[in-house]
């Protein structure tokens, strides 16, 4: 409650990220593709002297093609000691959450249920609260867990 949220459009839906998870919003420069990596990994890009992994959030949700516009800006988040740049349709605004994430009867649909912690009310309307760890684990991680991260740190 009363958390600062970064509002973004992902796959045509309004989503929210915790502002304290978002380290910065950057202009996406050149992206170096990573051959043979899952498709939701758009590549790596440089942020000053750091290498960021660029995640296409639409593909990470499990959608197979991107039919939405892509913002030239990306939100930089850190999960498990690694930094990621999130490619989204658009980064909208900063808003204050007015409720805790709540589930709705019937769920949000298979893609969304996997990585949404729930619906959150904000000043600019309801949004889906995104679980970053699940988002970064990608569509193959399956269930709502941090399994992908555990195996990676081993």
Binding site for another protein (CB under 8 A): 30, 32-38, 40-41, 44-46, 48-51, 53, 80-82, 84, 136-138, 148-149, 151-153
Sign for the pseudo-dihedral over CA of 111, 116, 117, 123: negative
Q: How far is the CB of 104 from another protein (least distance, A)?
A: 29
Shortest Å distance, C-beta 16 to another protein? 23
Give the tokens for residue 144.
């709502």
Cα–Cα dist 9/19, whole Å: 15
Q: Which is nearer to another protein, 6 or 137 (CB)?
A: 137
Give the number of other CB atoms < 10 A from CB of residue 127. Answer: 24
* Pick 7 or 134: Cβ nearer another protein: 134
Q: Return the closest-CA partner of residue 125 out of 151, 99, 143.
A: 99
CA dihedral 100, 106, 109, 115 (to 10 degrees): 30
Q: Would you say 100 or 150 has its CB closer to another protein?
A: 150
Task: Quote the least distance from Cβ 36 to another protein, whole Å.
Answer: 5
Dig out the tokens for 154 from the structure.
């081993």
When the beta carbons of 97 and 138 are compared against another protein, the nearer one is: 138
Closest separation between CB of residue 58 and another protein, Å? 16
């Amino acid at each position: 409650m009363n958390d600062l949220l970064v509002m973004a459009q992902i796959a045509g839906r309004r989503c929210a990220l915790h502002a304290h998870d978002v380290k910065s919003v950057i202009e996406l420069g050149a992206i170096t593709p990573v051959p043979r990596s899952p498709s939701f990994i758009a590549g790596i890009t440089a942020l000053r002297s750091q290498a960021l992994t660029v995640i296409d959030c639409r593909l990470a949700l499990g959608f197979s093609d991107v039919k939405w516009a892509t913002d030239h800006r990306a939100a930089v988040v850190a999960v498990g000691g690694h930094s990621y740049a999130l490619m989204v349709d658009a980064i909208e605004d900063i808003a204050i959450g007015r409720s805790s994430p709540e589930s709705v009867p019937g769920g949000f649909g298979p893609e969304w249920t996997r990585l949404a912690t729930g619906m959150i009310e904000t000043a600019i309307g309801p949004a889906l609260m995104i679980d970053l760890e699940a988002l970064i684990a990608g569509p193959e991680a399956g269930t709502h867990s941090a399994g992908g991260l555990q195996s990676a740190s081993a």
